[in-house]
Amino acid sequence: MQIKIQPTLAALTGLGGLCLIGCATMAESKMTISHAPFGQAPDGTPVQLYTLRNSRGSEAQICTYGGIVTSLKVADKHGKFGDVVLGYDTLDGYIEKSPHFGCLVGRYGNRIAKGKFTLNGKEYTLAVNNPPNSLHGGVMGFDKVVWKAKVLVSSTGPALELNYTSKDGEEGFPGNLKVAATYTLTEDNALRLDFIATTDADTVCNLTHHSYFNFAGKGEVLGHVVTIHADRFTPVDANMIPTGELRPVKGTPLDFTKPTSIGARINSDDEQIKLGGGYDHNWVVNQATPGQLTHAATVTEPTSGRVMEVWTTEPGIQFYTGNFLDGSITGKGGWTYQARNGFCFEPQHFPDSPNQPSFPTTVLKPGQTYQNTIIYKFSVR
The 3-state DSSP class for residue 18 equals: strand
Question: Per-residue pLDDT tens for 289-310?
Answer: 999 999 999 999 999 999 999 9
pLDDT at 167 over 60: yes
Question: Per-residue pLDDT tens for 106-133?
Answer: 999 999 999 999 999 999 999 999 999 9
Question: Per-residue pLDDT tens for 197-241?
Answer: 999 999 999 999 999 999 998 999 999 999 999 999 999 999 999
Residue type, 232: R
Average pLDDT, the chain: 93
| 217 CB neighbour count, 10 Å cutoff | 15
Reported pTM: 0.93
Contacts of 90 (CB under 8 A, 6+ apart): 39
346 classed as catalytic: yes
pLDDT of amino acid 15? 30
Of the residues 59, 161, 314, 346, only one is catalytic, namely 346
- Mean pLDDT computed over 182-194: 98
pLDDT of amino acid 29? 62
- Band the pLDDT of 153: cuts 50, 70, 90: confident
Of the residues 100, 136, 209, 210, only one is catalytic, namely 210
210 classed as catalytic: yes
CATH number of the domain that 341 lies in? 2.70.98.10
pLDDT of amino acid 6? 40
Number of domains in the chain: 1
pLDDT of amino acid 1? 54
Query: In terms of residue numbers, what domain contains 52?
Result: 2-380
